[in-house]
Amino acid sequence: MKIIIKDTAAEASAAVTEILLQQIAEKPASVLGLPTGGTPLAVYARLREEFAKGRGSYGSITTFNVDEYIGLSLHDPASYARYMRENLFEHVNVKASRTNIPDGSASDPDAEAKRYEGLIAACGGIDLMLLGLGRNAHIGFNEPGSLHHSRTRRVALTESTLEANSAYFASGAVQPTHAITMGIGTILQCRRIVVLATGPEKAEAVASSVDGVVSEAVPGSALSHHPDTTIVLDKAAARNLGIAQPMELRA
């Protein structure tokens, strides 16, 4: 596991942006796993900016988003499908036919999860998976208690996750309590994993994932099983690791 610690969240996001740009430069037909939420917004903003300057081409990549809320159509303002269009896809030359997000409006979420898992396998797997880390150390929507060999499936969201994500729903809107998410086992099959975590509110989750015991109670700890994981942090998120200065560590 490689740990990169930067002074600020902006610098950490810039480092992740460079990793993604290098990936698509070296392999233009890369298959990427992409997250949503607040943490990757700065990364997507930088990718848009670099593309506007002529850097980065997305015409041959394929993307798979990590998760989607059950009950939301792809046009719902709070859906992750719309999030991806507004924050990245509509601003770069990615082909819509190559972007994949679980269908939250599917009448049978279990069948949709199985279909999505099959799509990933049919593409030969994911080259680089970008992840955030939840305050309870969830990865994707794999909440504490998720099996480390779990596959794409329907999941119930915890109260802490619902609270953290409530800001993304308009006043009066019904917030979904379930989602379709790639499983931890699905994520661990990706060839490379990059995790971005910033801010003091993520410090406990980072410490328990990196320094704690590998446990189903801490989904992020499963990443220690993976042979090529890079965790990019700002100093605030790294503060419980006991590292005072920005640096790079390899274990």
CB 161 within 8 A of CB 134: yes
Written as six digits, the tokens of 122 are 């049919």
Options 68, 127, 138, 142, the catalytic residue: 138
136 is catalytic: yes
Options 143, 148, 165, 234, the catalytic residue: 143
Written as six digits, the tokens of 62 are 């394929």
**Residue linked to tokens 């509110």:** 201
Options 65, 67, 117, 127, the catalytic residue: 67
Sheet holding 153-156, edge to edge: 67-69, 178-181, 153-156
Q: Around Cβ 175, how many Cβ atoms within 10 Å? A: 16
138 is catalytic: yes
Options 65, 136, 142, 165, the catalytic residue: 136
CB 51 within 8 A of CB 84: no
Which residues are tagged catalytic?
A: 67, 136, 138, 143
